[in-house]
Structure 1
Amino acid sequence: MSAAGGRRAADEPEVDLVLPCLDEELALPWVLGRLPAGVRAIVVDNGSTDRSAEVARAHGATVVAEPRRGFGAAANAGLEAATAPYVAFCDADASLDPAELPRLLRLVERGEADLVLGRRRPTSGSAWPVHARLANRVLAARMSRRTGTRLHDLGPLRVAETRRLQALGIRDRRSGFPLEMVLRAAADGWRIRELDVAYMPREGRSKVTGTVRGTLTAIADMSRIFTEVHP
């Protein structure tokens, strides 16, 4: 018996894992090979020019095409496609291990939290560039003040009940999507928790935190979200 959606068939997934994807054909085999039992991968192809979609299908993932560029556009397309009782999000670049998902899910299933974020713990110095780590520290401090919950990380690996998350009405379609999710959840009275997860060097260069320009663009998007979403 599922806590979120009643009885489900044995062959139906308990969790839909949304993987926004832009040119990640090299990383996808490892990521999709790490899926726990009961988890279905929804790979959202955000305009890849490589074989990401083919590789994802070959490894059993459901592939959703979202031609409008932007992390939020891809993440939202995956959220709309999710039908399992729970939905999770994870980067598709092999920097995070989907095998850690059950620990996060357990808190939601037990009613101990409504949204669980994976707090990144770098496994090496190259996993998280200094400029990105500093930007995340500033962001976490602002999130903590706004939500009233001590948070250390935006948490790219995260999980919540699908229907509740779909009902939040997240609007951002760029880099601000993860932040808007946290702020809207807090404003709606959700209990937000963090759990440590390993953060590894990604496969290839990040489209956001891999460059100073990308990081600054993300900061601008998130600054806008702080002004648009109110308690």
Structure 2
Amino acid sequence: MPNIKVIIPAYNEENSIAQVINDIPKIVNEVIVVNNNSNDNTAKNATNAGATVLTELNKGYGYACLKGMDYISNQNSKPDIIVFLDGDYSDYPEELIKLINPIINDNIDLVIGARNKNLRAPDSMTPQQVFGNWLATLLMKFIFRARFTDLGPFRAIKYEKLLALHMQDKTYGWTVEMQLNALKQKLTYVEIPVKYRQRIGVSKVSGTIKGSIFAGLAILGWIFKYSIKK
């Protein structure tokens, strides 16, 4: 089996983080929770559930992901596959097997867990999330001829390919930057439909007007930035 590590950015997810960790298949070599300046028991609960817990004081999804990557870069044994997963229990961690299979069996570089409508629980995604995903992937289709239908955070990627992307985004544009970079570098990619349920707690991004606006601007900013470079 390949060496698989999971990175989970987490901000105030004390009520869900242990459930996420406990549902991750045992084939994973290490679960890394990046405590993104939480003011609750996220770190404690993640530690008790068996995860490696890092602290990132700068708030932002990208900051947390980069912290996890930096930690891995300093390990002697490097992973083959990195899986990114949210800490709010909206995804089904056991479906990690579905995401890594195309990498292991078909040599695919990047696998996105697509939150298809027929597998989503009612109201599990806000209207602004649905619209934002539709608009972003539509633009990527017309500008870059991409086949993406979602910017879902549940994803798996070969570690060496992830490093080659030279990820930069610190906040809301992490997922779309990864997909745009993958297109630019001509990585092989597929989408795998995954189930999606209502998250535990309130989203810090799509659950607020401010978060939705900033996330939308970050996503569109990355798309237009890459369209100019094209």
Q: TM-score, normalised by structure 1?
A: 0.90
Contact 2:115–2:193 (CA under 8 A) maintained in structure 1: yes
The Cα shift of 1:76 comes to 1.3
The 5-angstrom pairing of residues 210-221 of structure 1 reads: 210-221=207-218
1:119 aligns with 2:108: no
Contact 2:7–2:85 (CA under 8 A) maintained in structure 1: yes
* Aligned equivalents of 2:207, 2:95: Cα separation in 1: 24
The Cα shift of 1:112 comes to 4.4
* Aligned equivalents of 1:77, 1:143: Cα separation in 2: 28
The Cα shift of 1:85 comes to 1.2
Task: Identify the residue that residue 6 of structure 1 maps to in structure 2.
Answer: none
Contact 2:112–2:192 (CA under 8 A) maintained in structure 1: yes
Query: What is the root-mean-square deviation in Å for CA atoms of aligned residues?
Result: 1.5
Task: Identify the residue that residue 75 of structure 2 maps to in structure 1.
Answer: none
Task: Identify the residue that residue 9 of structure 1 maps to in structure 2.
Answer: none
* Aligned equivalents of 1:136, 1:200: Cα separation in 2: 17
Task: Identify the residue that residue 171 of structure 2 maps to in structure 1.
Answer: 174
C-alpha offsets along residues 66-96 of structure 1, whole Å, 9 cap, x if unaligned?
1111111011111222332110101110000
1:159 aligns with 2:148: no
* Aligned equivalents of 2:37, 2:44: Cα separation in 1: 13
* Aligned equivalents of 1:166, 1:184: Cα separation in 2: 11
Task: Identify the residue that residue 20 of structure 2 maps to in structure 1.
Answer: 31
Question: How many positions carry a matched residue from both structures?
Answer: 220
SS at match of 1:199: coil
Task: Identify the residue that residue 106 of structure 1 maps to in structure 2.
Answer: 101
* Aligned equivalents of 1:81, 1:49: Cα separation in 2: 22
Among 11, 22, 31, which residue is 1:22 paired with? 11
Contact 1:118–1:158 (CA under 8 A) maintained in structure 2: yes
1:225 aligns with 2:215: no
The 5-angstrom pairing of residues 123-142 of structure 1 reads: 123-142=120-139
Contact 1:104–1:118 (CA under 8 A) maintained in structure 2: yes
* Aligned equivalents of 1:169, 1:183: Cα separation in 2: 12
SS at match of 2:9: strand
Which one has a larger percent helix, Structure 1 or Structure 2?
2
Q: TM-score, normalised by structure 2?
A: 0.90
Contact 1:120–1:199 (CA under 8 A) maintained in structure 2: yes
Contact 1:149–1:192 (CA under 8 A) maintained in structure 2: no
* Aligned equivalents of 2:144, 2:65: Cα separation in 1: 22
SS at match of 2:149: coil
Amino acid corresponding to residue 69 of structure 1 in structure 2: K
